[in-house]
Amino acid sequence: MSAQPRTLALVTGANRGMGLEIARRLAEHGSRVLLSGRDPDAVTRAATALRDDGLDVEPLVLDVTGTDSIAAAAAEITGRHGRLDILVNNAAIRIEEYGRRPSEQPLDRWRRTFDTNLFGVVETTVALLPLIRSSPAGRIVNVSSLLASLTTHTDPASYAYSDTFKSLPAYSASKSALNSWTVHLAYELRDTPVKVNAVHPGYTKTGMNDGAGDLEIPEGAATSVAMALLPDDGPTGTYVHLGNVVPW
Q: How far is the CB of 173 from ligand NAP (least distance, A)?
A: 13
Q: Which of 12, 149, 176, 179 binds ligand NAP (CB under 6 A)?
A: 12
Tell me the sheet residues that pair with 116: none
Of 159, 161, 171, 187, which residue is the catalytic one?
Answer: 171
- Number of shown-chain residues binding ligand NAP (CB under 6 A): 30
Specify the residue, 55 or 64, whose C-beta has the smaller distance to ligand NAP. Answer: 64
Task: Return the closest-CA partner of residue 10 out of 121, 99, 118.
Answer: 121
What is the spatial distance between Cα 63 and Cα 16, in angstroms, rounded to a whole number?
Answer: 14
Closer by beta carbon to ligand NAP, 48 or else 192: 48
DSSP tally for the chain: helices H, then strands E: 8, 8
Q: Does residue 24 interact with ligand NAP by CB under 6 A?
A: no
User: Among residue numbers 149 through 208, which ones bind ligand NAP (CB under 6 A)?
Assistant: 201, 203-204, 206-208
Residue 17 or 59: which CB sits closer to ligand NAP?
17
Structural contact between residues 21 and 33, judged by C-beta atoms closer than 8 angstroms = no
Cα separation, 142 vs 181, whole angstroms: 9
What contacts 24+ positions apart, CB below 8 Å, involve 74-77? Answer: 74/127, 74/128, 74/131, 77/8, 77/10, 77/34, 77/128, 77/131
For the question of residue 171 being annotated catalytic, the response is yes
- Quick note: the x/- pattern for ligand NAP over 82-121, rule CB under 6 A, is --------xxxx----------------------x---x-
Question: CA of 85: how far to CAs of 16, 138, 156, in Å?
Answer: 22, 5, 41
Mark residues 28-67: x for contact with ligand NAP by CB under 6 A, - for none.
Answer: ---------xxx--x--------------------xxx--
Query: Which residues of this protein are in contact with ligand NAP, per CB under 6 A?
Result: 12-13, 15-19, 37-39, 42, 63-65, 90-93, 116, 120, 143, 145, 201, 203-204, 206-209, 213
